[in-house]
Structure 1
Amino acid sequence: MNLRLPSGDVRVCWQPPDLPSSRSIGAWLPAILLFILTLCSCSGSQRGGYGYADNPPTNRTALVAWQEWTRFGRSTVVYGGHAGGYTNRSGLNEHSEPLSSRVGDYWGSCGHPEWNGNTGGRPWSGAFVSWVMQQSGASSFPTAGRHGQYLASLYDREYRGHSTAFLLHAPNEYAPKSGDLVCSGTAGASWRYASAAMAHRRIDNTASHCDVVTDVRGGFVQAVGGNVKSSVTMSLYPIDGRGHLAPAPGKLWMMVVENRST
């Protein structure tokens, strides 16, 4: 006995899930925006503000300083704001090799290759700046182991109209940029309005430290200097709304040296 089964087309259709209505999206929108803003804030706290730039600078002088900072382990100190001069990151010590010999290279640029990171009583921050300038091709920079010595020489050249490769500015007159020097000293910016002879003496006798600016962002000047925390260290100094150096703990700003050579 043959049975005939009824035949017919059977079709299976996929039904997409209900999409959220515009009203439900609107209810969730504030939470979504808050989440995005939180992510941005976290990223900014690591790479902006108190953070340093991971990308090497394009200015030649700044690049040489930045590379030495990396060689020494990227020691970092933050000044101003809520930081108050704390050590954000410790670097490698000047007394360990091969870094002690590297300090000897800095001294060699100033005519003292016999000194190195283990030579007592020889602060090498001035030699570091001189070496950086020499390596970056700033041939007109007067190499010297003391900051006051090369700054006074730069002042004399500018005063006599002999050179425009480096120009000296009071801290409230000029916004530092990559490749410039930011310098502190016990006489502050009083040299700016003194006679030429007096200005020379004040700069030579009272300049205490200079750093090479590698970047300016997030409300800070990022500047690399030698013999800071017994290493090559990047310091983050606050700036005001015009980009000028702002007061920083333990710093009396003397000048900003504009670097036009590189």
Structure 2
Amino acid sequence: MNLRLPSGDVRVCWQPADLPSSRCIGLWLPAILLLALTLAGCGGSASRSYGYADNPPADPTALVAWREWTRFGRSTVVYGGHAGGYVNRAGVSEHSEPLSSRVGDYWGSCGHPEWNGNTRGRPWSGAFVSWVMRQSGAGSFPVAGRHGQYLAALYDREFRGRSTAFLLHAPDEYSPKPGDLVCDGTAGPSWRHASPAMAHRRIDNTARHCDVVTDVRGGYIQAVGGNVKSSVTMSLYPIDRRGRLAPTPGKLWMLVVENRAT
């Protein structure tokens, strides 16, 4: 959109009662600067500082997820209203080619290349996370089509001291960063103080969904997940002053996976 600003100067004269008009002080209206910035947002450099013109993240895992989000048309859900230029918007459906076949690539990382975006009854959000981890170089990640399956495997590794590449935290213990996973589940963080066997079962059986964190700023976590609104979608979740997940409508936060592998 090309807009041309008027070339003439716009000034305001402020004149105290005891001064002649010839000595009025010319002041630029601050509104002129605000107007220029607003108009520049239609296509100028100002739009690059927030919202949908963000630069790709530096973290390898976050970058892979961010690129898939862009591939699917940048579907976005904002929890809590308007956030830094992001608003609710739809993306491209999993049922449309070539993206339906792209979902098949996600499933292929879990050993099911025959499934794709048009396969009924096969939620693919877990396969998406597994694919992202492998593509970003986290070869030690236990790929699985279910979130509970790979999360329980990560828990077992950590508990037995076999790996520190991924660490599980309760939502109020740790501030997520790009590349981490934020996960919700029907039992919340009740696994945290359970016995190892019980913790494994609760994680495996009650985990519902995980997203890959791509950025943290403006009071929100930006996190990308698959099979959300039939697409790859970025969700913006509010955080508290410590940077930890805040209560979110429709979410019962279960855990955060700290990614040290990438």
Task: Report if TM-score (shorter chain) is over 0.5.
Answer: yes
Q: What do residues 143-176 of structure 1 show as CA deviations (whole Å, max 9, x unaligned)?
A: 0000000000000000011100000001111110
1:30-41 superposed matches below 5 A? 31-32=29-30, 36=33
SS of the equivalent of 1:234 reads strand
For 2:221, the equivalent position in structure 1 comes to 221
Q: Tell me the equivalent position of 1:24.
A: 25
Q: 1:35 to 1:199 in 2, by over 3 A?
A: farther
Greater Rg by CA: 1
Contiguous gaps of at least 5 residues in structure 2:
1-12, 14-21
- Is residue 149 of structure 2 the alignment partner of residue 146 of structure 1? no
- Look up the SS of the partner of 1:188 in the other structure: coil
Are residue 126 (structure 1) and residue 126 (structure 2) matched?
A: yes
2:4 is matched with: none
- Size of the aligned set, in residue pairs, is 235
Letter in 1 for 2:157: R
Matches within 5 A, 1:1-262: 24-25=25-26, 28=27, 31-32=29-30, 36=33, 51-52=51-52, 54-81=54-81, 88-262=88-262
AA of the residue aligned to 1:131: W
Q: Give a deviation string over 1:16-62, Cα, whole Å, max 9, x none.
A: xxxx999715xx36x42x6556777996x97778x356210010000
Which SS does the other structure have where 1:89 is aligned?
coil
Amino acid at match of 1:57: P
Which residue of structure 1 aligns with residue 10 of structure 2?
none
C-alpha contact 1:52 1:222 (8 A) present in aligned 2: no
> Contact (CA 8 Å) 1:48, 1:218: kept in 2 or not?
no
> Does the 8 Å contact 1:127/1:145 carry over to 2?
yes
Q: Secondary structure at the match of 2:227?
A: strand
The secondary structure found in structure 2 opposite 1:225 is strand
Q: Where do 5+ consecutive residues of structure 1 fail to align?
A: 1-19
Residue 100 of structure 2 aligns with an amino acid whose one-letter code is S
Relative distance call for 1:129 and 1:36 in structure 2 (3 A) is same
Counterpart contact for 2:238–2:248, Cα < 8 Å: yes
Residue in 2 aligned with 1:13? Answer: none
Amino acid across the alignment from 2:97: E
Q: TM-score, normalised by structure 2?
A: 0.83
Whole-Å separation in 2 of the counterparts to 1:39 and 1:259: 42
